[in-house]
């Protein structure tokens, strides 16, 4: 019995070993299918090398790509000015004053649109203005807001009434007031980012935190302007009259528009280049530190001071347009650099102003607007803005010296825009610092190349460099342009 039991045990062990061998062999075969082949790796390495070579070639061709025509690179949706129709809300009482603002930016035979008035006004032929029409009757609509005006009802319908005119090849309707100035090339750049066949409601909020709380951060302010894509305008036209009847207590036209957008379920696509400017005083602080985005609109021009001292409001805007014509994409764009020999901090708002400050202020400070303006609500202090601000000067010695754009020209030989910025000769505060004073300068010469494709790259401030002077004189020379690799705004102490 003992020997037979031993034989059975040996037999079972042999059988188990055979089964384990079969399983092992089977698993080995399965794994061998996923086992990489050396030849495959060789092919992959060759492909990778080829891609790297192609990538290097593309890097070498980047400079050539920048020279391609604007239409091929800068407009993703191929939107052009002719695809945009403006609806301008105006008042007959202020027409003689406000029409001068429209003349500044309107391009006869290029821009399309209509001015909607409450009653007839005198008009002259060849004034360089859009077509004038009278708004439809709104007496059937309820209006119960005691602080507002019924004119908000007719202004609410500007987009719908403009769409019903049946203009051809329209992609966008652009709403604005008669005291809104547009940089139309930048408007085209902004709208080109969006698919005009979809529902889009594009604009921005107010500078006043109190205004946004009272109305809505989700609302595009009509004075700053807002754009509505054609398909959305069609849907709005179908329901707007019913929608307006549901909101008799709202104050203005833009909050009624946003209420209808909320019913349609379309949110605001915010673009910070649309400026309501719910402020009083001097726009220097805001325009001197413009956000890194195209300047699209300026509003409330009757309320703020002229942007260029010694010129009136209309003349200031006409003067600004001289730089816009040279390089619209760069207008108001900030650059920050330092004069290392004199320890000056320099902030350039291209086409507008150069600010030179004694001492070293960090870029983090310089890109923050100075409080040269007052809040829309006069009792509100600087904490009631919807963005950060800083004092005009922490120390009297740090008050900036201002050099406003005086003239600009294009040099076809150097392919550069040459701008002369002249010092605004106000009396500087007394300073005890043993630092060279910018009041010894009379002008700053700023040179830059036109950059129509700047907004096709990732958003970034331009760099600037103080150029060495051949001899000591009353002028400073500065270059402005795209930053080189590794270039930053710094002054090592």
Give 404: exposed, middle or buried? Use CB within 10 Å, 0-12, 13-18, 19+: buried
Residue showing tokens 């920048």: 66
* pLDDT per residue as tens digits for the range 307-326: 999 999 999 999 999 999 99
Residue 31 scores a pLDDT above 70? no
Residue 195 scores a pLDDT above 80? yes
* pLDDT per residue as tens digits for the range 201-221: 999 999 999 999 999 999 999
Please report which confidence band the pLDDT of residue 438 belongs to, taking 50, 70 and 90 as the band edges.
very high
Q: In whole angstroms, what is the distance from residue 16 CA to residue 28 CA?
A: 18
The mean of the pLDDT values for the chain is 87
Residue 68 scores a pLDDT above 60? no
pLDDT given at position 66: 45
pLDDT given at position 46: 38
Angle at 245 between CA 243 and CA 247, to 5 degrees: 80
Please report which confidence band the pLDDT of residue 258 belongs to, taking 50, 70 and 90 as the band edges.
very high
Q: Which of 182, 178, 181 is nearest to 190 (CA)?
A: 182
**Taking residues 142-165, what's their average pLDDT?**
96
Please report which confidence band the pLDDT of residue 492 belongs to, taking 50, 70 and 90 as the band edges.
low
Q: Give, as one character, the DSSP assignment of residue 483.
A: P
pLDDT given at position 20: 64
Q: In whole angstroms, what is the distance from residue 155 CA to residue 176 CA?
A: 10
CA atoms within 13 A on the CB side of 331: 25
**Taking residues 349-378, what's their average pLDDT?**
95
Q: In whole angstroms, what is the distance from residue 420 CA to residue 406 CA?
A: 6
**Taking residues 438-461, what's their average pLDDT?**
94
Which sequence spans correspond to the domains of the chain? Answer: 72-276, 297-308+315-481
Please report which confidence band the pLDDT of residue 473 belongs to, taking 50, 70 and 90 as the band edges.
confident
Residue 70 scores a pLDDT above 50? no
* pLDDT per residue as tens digits for the range 264-316: 999 999 999 999 999 999 999 999 999 999 999 999 999 999 999 999 999 99
pLDDT given at position 85: 98
Residue 317 phi, psi dihedral angles, 5° rounding: -70, -40
The answer to whether 262 and 174 have CB atoms below 8 angstroms apart is no
* pLDDT per residue as tens digits for the range 81-131: 999 999 999 999 999 999 999 999 999 999 999 999 999 998 887 888 999
The answer to whether 257 and 156 have CB atoms below 8 angstroms apart is yes
The answer to whether 90 and 178 have CB atoms below 8 angstroms apart is yes
What CATH class is the domain 297-308+315-481?
mainly beta
pLDDT given at position 123: 83
Q: Would you say the C-alpha torsion 185, 187, 188, 190 has a positive or negative sign?
A: positive
* pLDDT per residue as tens digits for the range 89-101: 999 999 999 999 9
Please report which confidence band the pLDDT of residue 491 belongs to, taking 50, 70 and 90 as the band edges.
confident
DSSP H stretches of helix in 173-252: 184-191, 209-214, 230-245
CATH number (3.30.70.3270, 3.40.50.150, 3.90.550.50, 1.10.3720.10) of 72-276 reads: 3.90.550.50
pLDDT given at position 477: 96
């Amino acid at each position: 019995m003992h020997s037979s039991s031993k034989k059975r045990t040996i037999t079972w062990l042999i059988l188990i070993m055979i089964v384990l061998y079969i399983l092992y062999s089977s698993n080995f075969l399965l794994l061998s299918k996923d086992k990489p082949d050396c030849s495959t790796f060789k092919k992959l390495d060759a492909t990778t090398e080829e891609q790297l070579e192609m990538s290097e070639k593309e890097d070498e061709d980047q400079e050539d790509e920048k020279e391609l025509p604007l239409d091929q690179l800068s407009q993703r949706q191929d939107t052009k000015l002719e695809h945009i129709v403006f609806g301008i809300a105006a008042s007959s009482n202020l027409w003689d004053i406000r029409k001068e603002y429209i003349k500044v930016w309107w391009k006869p035979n290029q821009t399309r649109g209509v001015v909607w008035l409450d009653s007839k006004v005198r008009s002259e032929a060849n004034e360089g203005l859009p077509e004038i029409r009278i708004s439809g009757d709104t007496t059937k609509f309820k209006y119960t807001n005691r602080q507002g005006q019924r004119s908000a009802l007719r202004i609410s319908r500007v987009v719908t009434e403009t769409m019903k005119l049946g203009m051809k090849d329209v992609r966008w309707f652009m709403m604005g007031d008669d005291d809104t100035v547009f940089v139309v090339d930048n408007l085209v750049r902004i709208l080109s980012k969006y698919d005009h066949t979809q529902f889009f409601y594009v604009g921005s909020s107010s500078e006043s935190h109190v205004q946004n709380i009272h109305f809505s951060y989700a609302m595009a302010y009509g004075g700053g302007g807002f754009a509505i894509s054609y398909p959305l305008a069609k849907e709005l036209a179908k329901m707007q009259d019913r929608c307006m009847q549901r909101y008799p207590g709202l104050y203005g036209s833009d909050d009624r528009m946003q209420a209808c957008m909320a019913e349609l379920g379309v949110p605001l696509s915010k673009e910070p280049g649309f400026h309501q400017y719910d402020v009083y005083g001097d726009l220097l602080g805001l325009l001197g530190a413009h956000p890194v985005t195209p300047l699209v609109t300026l509003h409330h021009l009757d309320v703020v001071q002229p942007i260029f001292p010694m010129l009136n409001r209309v003349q200031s805007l006409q003067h600004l347009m001289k730089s816009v014509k040279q390089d619209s994409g760069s207008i108001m764009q900030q650059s920050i650099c330092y004069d290392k020999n004199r320890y000056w901090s320099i902030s350039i708002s291209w086409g507008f102003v150069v600010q030179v400050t004694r001492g070293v202020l960090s870029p983090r400070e310089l890109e923050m607007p100075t409080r040269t303006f007052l809040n829309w609500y006069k009792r509100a202090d600087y904490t009631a803005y919807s963005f950060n601000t800083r004092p005009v000067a922490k120390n009297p010695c740090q008050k900036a010296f201002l050099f406003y754009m005086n003239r600009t020209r294009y040099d076809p030989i150097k392919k550069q825009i040459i701008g002369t910025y002249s010092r605004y000769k106000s009396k500087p505060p007394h300073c005890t610092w043993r630092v060279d004073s910018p009041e010894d300068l009379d002008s700053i010469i700023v040179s830059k190349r036109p950059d129509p494709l700047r907004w096709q790259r990732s958003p970034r401030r331009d760099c600037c460099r103080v150029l060495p002077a051949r001899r000591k004189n009353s002028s400073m020379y500065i270059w402005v342009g795209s930053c080189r690799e590794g270039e930053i705004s710094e002054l090592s102490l």
